[in-house]
Chain A
Amino acid sequence: MAVLVVAEHSNGALGSATLNTVAAAQKIGGEISVQVAGQNVGGVAEAAARIAGVAKVLVADNAAYAHQLPENVAPLIASIARDFGHVLAPATTNGKNFLPRVAALLDVDQISEITEVVSADTFKRPIYAGNAIATVQSSAAVKVITVRGTGFDAVAAEGGSAAVEAVSGPADAGKSAFVGEELAKSDRPELTAARIVVSGGRGMGNGDNFSILYSLADKLGAAVGASRAAVDAGFVPNDMQVGQTGKIVAPQLYVAVGISGAIQHLAGMKDSKVIVAINKDEEAPIFQVADYGLVADLFEAVPELERTI
């Protein structure tokens, strides 16, 4: 059966989560098509066509699909999905927004945030904040699935030469409108794709103190994350939040600084290859998952770490 992957993209660039989703599609098997919906997405479609392993790119370029409002994009995807056995989207905020709407339009259940493909109809996914792993089987005619990016190694962004085909779908439903966007600016690597992540928690004390983490991160080429406590205290913007309700990361190295290690935070980072914890409380639960723990005052240890590396 053929697999449809809905591409993640913003500001004219293909999102890297698409590559992990194509990797999951390859594990399912069958011909892979990528759907690109938006306005002025010619460049995104070309980038999607170059992804290794993609056979076809279906482009719906229309003002109605700008900003991928789910009221307009979901009926489009649902109309195309009927020809496929599987519809996959990355478990980004976009994918999570429109895909359940697609599933309901198709009258099938959705399987959220799979981390493993067992077979074409059986998948593994974390539940209870990652404290249990469920194996689920779908008998739906069209299997609608979101894919947790950190569960699958990205396929090569280059090397493919898929055919690009224009498709059309329903017009603007007229139920919703885009008003505006406020994006946090960052020169550092994207949190979910970074090889190294340095995160701060409540122990940082205030937002200004995050400068020592930024400085360490720049030396390591790392992204900077935060716990929910740091976000709720207003130290940093919420798109930096790592956890069950924020971003899920699985870098090679995760450095948790001044983070106690609540269940909700661990759900977002415990699949990291190596975890380092720096905390002055030696009873902090973070030390139970850390490969290397350092009981120390972070305001002394972090600058020293930066100097020593």
Chain B
Amino acid sequence: MKVLVAVKRVVDYNVKVRVKADHFGVDLANVKMSMNPFCEIAVEEAVRLKEKGVVTEIVAVSVGPTAAQEQLRTAMALGADRAVLVESNDELNSLAVAKALKAIVDKEQPQLVILGKQAIDSDNNQTGQMLAALTGYAQGTFASKVEVAGDKVNVTREIDGGLQTVALNLPAIVTTDLRLNEPRYASLPNIMKAKKKPLETVTPEALGISTASTVKTLKVEAPAARSAGIKVKSVAELVEKLKNEAKVI
């Protein structure tokens, strides 16, 4: 079967971002960008399903700026067969991304779509669920285990308090949690080979979708800084401070 994997270009998770002085967002000029860590897990899961013989073709999709081609090349170096970029230089909200992905799903007809559970820039945790709603497919969010069995996929999900397993009819949408797998690194020969794999570019207009949003960002601020603390010398001093100064125990 065919699998579609969605990947997002985001600021690298090791970068400590700074809010811009004009409060119109965070400063992303000259900052290292990478594939969103949850998307890496999604690509890895698709590749493992292919290695098990369950999957025959992996299509990587990204909705974002021209530079997101880099992340699609990375996905292909990791094992995706080809890639589609829905190119838009606007900052799109989850619903617009879900609509773009729906258009690609309609065209490609995959049996399984794997996304990360959230992007570490917007921290929304919405796109997979929204894509499931738009396509009418079942959804297995926060997956820590994925098993395809016939025309169903069993997904073990990380929930508050433990784990839950659901059986979903295919085609289905799965979003990955951290413990689903440990993503591999791309090898140099595979990075070279990925440069020759096909990468198609389309625009939201060509797909006939609207990227209009009902939400706008008015301001982005730095969080309130914590006042500097002190270092205590002993456990006795710590307990004394907690009891008499902070009054929390």
A-side residues, CB < 8 A to B, are 10, 67, 69-71, 74, 92-94, 96-105, 107-113, 122, 126-140, 174-184, 192, 196, 220, 228, 231-232, 237-239, 244-245, 247, 252-253, 263-264, 270, 273-276, 282, 287, 289-296, 301, 304-305, 308-309
- What separation, in Å, do the CA atoms of A69 and B238 have in the docked complex? 47
Distance to closest chain B CB from A28 (angstroms) = 16
Interchain CB contact under 8 A, A239 and B160: yes
- What separation, in Å, do the CA atoms of A237 and B179 have in the docked complex? 11
Interchain CB contact under 8 A, B214 and A109: yes
Complex contacts, A287 vs chain B, CB 8 Å: 229, 231
Interchain CB contact under 8 A, A244 and B123: yes
Known interface pairs A128-B123, A175-B169, A245-B178; 9 further A-B residue pairs with C-beta atoms within 8 A, sorted by A's residue number: A71-B139, A98-B129, A104-B95, A109-B94, A131-B19, A138-B214, A175-B136, A253-B248, A270-B223
Interchain CB contact under 8 A, B215 and A127: no
Interface size counted on chain B using CB atoms at 8 A: 77
Distance to closest chain A CB from B53 (angstroms) = 24
Interchain CB contact under 8 A, B235 and A101: no
Q: Evaluate whether A138 and B246 lie within 8 angstroms (CB atoms) in the complex, with A179-B165, A239-B161 already known.
A: no
- What separation, in Å, do the CA atoms of A228 and B161 have in the docked complex? 16
Interchain CB contact under 8 A, A104 and B166: no
Contact of A109 among B134, B162, B213, B221 (CB under 8 A): B213
Interchain CB contact under 8 A, B122 and A127: yes
Distance to closest chain B CB from A224 (angstroms) = 14
Contact of B218 among A109, A122, A294 (CB under 8 A): A122
List 5 interface pairs A-B (beta carbons < 8 Å), by A numbering.
Answer: A70-B141, A103-B133, A175-B137, A292-B230, A293-B229
Q: Evaluate whether A180 and B164 lie within 8 angstroms (CB atoms) in the complex, with A137-B215, A245-B177, A309-B249 already known.
A: yes
Complex contacts, B222 vs chain A, CB 8 Å: 131-133
Interchain CB contact under 8 A, A92 and B160: yes
Interchain CB contact under 8 A, A274 and B246: yes
- What separation, in Å, do the CA atoms of A107 and B167 have in the docked complex? 27
Q: Is the C-beta of B124 less than 8 angstroms from some C-beta in chain A?
A: yes
Complex contacts, A74 vs chain B, CB 8 Å: 133
Q: Evaluate whether A101 and B132 lie within 8 angstroms (CB atoms) in the complex, with A245-B178, A274-B242 already known.
A: yes
Complex contacts, B123 vs chain A, CB 8 Å: 112-113, 126-129, 244
Interface string of B208-245 (1 = CB under 8 A from A): 00000111111111110010011110111011011000
Interchain CB contact under 8 A, B124 and A183: no
Q: Is the C-beta of B111 less than 8 angstroms from some C-beta in chain A?
A: no
- What separation, in Å, do the CA atoms of A126 and B19 have in the docked complex? 12
Closest residue to A293 on the B side, CB-wise? B231
Complex contacts, B248 vs chain A, CB 8 Å: 196, 252-253, 273-274
Q: Is the C-beta of B154 less than 8 angstroms from some C-beta in chain A?
A: yes
Q: Is the C-beta of B55 less than 8 angstroms from some C-beta in chain A?
A: no
Complex contacts, A135 vs chain B, CB 8 Å: 217-221
Q: Is the C-beta of B63 less than 8 angstroms from some C-beta in chain A?
A: no
Interchain CB contact under 8 A, B16 and A131: yes
Q: Evaluate whether A292 and B242 lie within 8 angstroms (CB atoms) in the complex, with A71-B138, A112-B124, A131-B16 already known.
A: yes
Complex contacts, A126 vs chain B, CB 8 Å: 123, 223
Complex contacts, A282 vs chain B, CB 8 Å: 231
Interchain CB contact under 8 A, A132 and B249: no
- What separation, in Å, do the CA atoms of A138 and B217 have in the docked complex? 9
Interchain CB contact under 8 A, B26 and A132: yes
Complex contacts, A228 vs chain B, CB 8 Å: 178
Complex contacts, A253 vs chain B, CB 8 Å: 242, 246, 248-249
Q: Which of B141-155 contact A (CB under 8 A)?
A: 141-142, 144, 154
Interchain CB contact under 8 A, A128 and B120: yes
Closest residue to A245 on the B side, CB-wise? B178
Interchain CB contact under 8 A, B235 and A132: no
Distance to closest chain B CB from A291 (angstroms) = 4
Complex contacts, B238 vs chain A, CB 8 Å: 276, 292, 294, 305
Closest residue to B179 on the A side, CB-wise? A238
- What separation, in Å, do the CA atoms of A295 and B235 have in the docked complex? 10
